[in-house]
Amino acid sequence: MEIAWLEDFLAVLEHGGFSRAAEARHITQSALSRRIRALEEWVGTPLLIRTTHSVRLTPSGEAFQATAEETLRRLAAGRTEALELAQGASDLLRFASTNALSWVFFPVWLRRVEATLPFGINVQLVANHMEACERMMIAGQVQFLLCHHHDAAKAQLNDNQFRSLHVGDDVLLPISAPRPDGGGEPLFALPGSPELPVPYVSYRPESGMGRIVAAAQGSFPSKIWLKPTFTSHLAKLLVTMALDGRGMGWAPKSLIEDSLETGDLVRAGDSRWDIPIQIHLYRSRARQSLTAERFWSHLESIAASKLGPVSDNSLPVT
């Protein structure tokens, strides 16, 4: 069995078919198909059900997916640890963070955690949208993932392979530019109507906050009618578009507090339309480097005491 076969198998699942997976893997579709068949022969059973327009997992494939992901993640972590030890960089901690949290939350949170650490660390951070961050975690390219969390929003990091700590709180607020008459009322307000849907700056599906907003709509006090006018995975860009009067949207309070205070942004609805969210730090359940394990244990001790930087840096849900 070759490691590339596992990477091929997961690429087919990630891209939803052989054509796009072959392109991403820089091989021909026929070569990819041969390698998937070789993997299935090695496992001893079909892993994929192929149809003209789609590919889906067999029950055996569903079970094998977790094994493939864990195997590649352990290999990546082992290789990285060996290289770091050889190069004298064993204190390196590799983080992925969603874009919004990398701007405001991460620097302050890290500074407060570091102030209590009994050892030094070297931090590497990659910021991207949620799906990209999840892929990095699953592949073992990073040790930790910082992201927003909502119980109703499904994540790819299942509890069998990953664990998380609640390290902060935030809230998604419905926001809009104010009306130009200077009265402080929103230019666009919820809930809208079928005849007059509300112009809406929305998150792309690969955004974690896009998942959260979609999942949380079932808890709203009434149905809403929205008309998308601009879409992005970047919360900061959506805030800019809301400021420009393109529509209302949901944005984390941590990102827009200054604009709310100056009146450049106002609420597009009262607190019934707020979406309370948590900030979680994820890690694999597999063994990490010594420094990563010590760092995680330190965070757990802070969480257990309910004191210190993990809880102190939480953002008030108001």
Note the pLDDT tens digit of each residue in 228-245: 999 999 999 999 999 999
Q: What domains can you pick out in the chain, each with its CATH number?
A: 3-68 (1.10.10.10), 70-163+280-312 (3.40.190.10), 170-276 (3.40.190.10)
Q: Residue 286: its pLDDT value, please?
A: 84
As a 3-state breakdown, the chain gives helix, strand, coil percent values, each rounded to 5, of 45, 25, 30
Q: Residue 73: its pLDDT value, please?
A: 77
Mean pLDDT across the chain: 88
Note the pLDDT tens digit of each residue in 98-142: 999 998 899 999 999 999 999 999 999 999 999 999 988 888 889
Note the pLDDT tens digit of each residue in 144-182: 999 999 999 988 888 888 999 999 999 999 999 999 987
Q: Residue 218: its pLDDT value, please?
A: 86
Alpha helices in 139-282 (DSSP H): 208-216, 235-243, 253-262
Note the pLDDT tens digit of each residue in 207-223: 999 999 999 988 999 99
Q: Using pLDDT thresholds of 50, 70 and 90, give the confidence band for residue 316.
A: very low
Bridge partners of 56? 49
Note the pLDDT tens digit of each residue in 58-86: 999 988 988 888 888 778 777 777 776 77
Average pLDDT over residues 78-97: 77
Note the pLDDT tens digit of each residue in 15-40: 888 988 898 888 999 999 999 999 99
* Measured distance CA(94)–CA(195) in Å, rounded: 49
**Burial class (CB within 10 angstroms; exposed 0-12, middle 13-18, buried 19+) of 299:** buried
User: Is pLDDT at 247 greater than 80 in this prediction?
Assistant: yes
More confident of the two residues 183 and 187: 187
Q: Are 141 and 94 in contact (CB under 8 A)?
A: yes
Note the pLDDT tens digit of each residue in 280-305: 999 998 888 888 999 999 999 988 87
* Measured distance CA(265)–CA(245) in Å, rounded: 10
The phi, psi pair for 124, rounded to 5°, reads -120, 130
Average pLDDT over residues 94-99: 95
C-alpha dihedral, 109 to 112 to 117 to 123, nearest 10°: 40
Q: Quote the strand ranges of the chain, DSSP E.
A: 48-50, 55-57, 92-98, 122-128, 144-149, 162-176, 198-203, 226-232, 249-252, 266-267, 275-284
Q: Residue 185: its pLDDT value, please?
A: 95
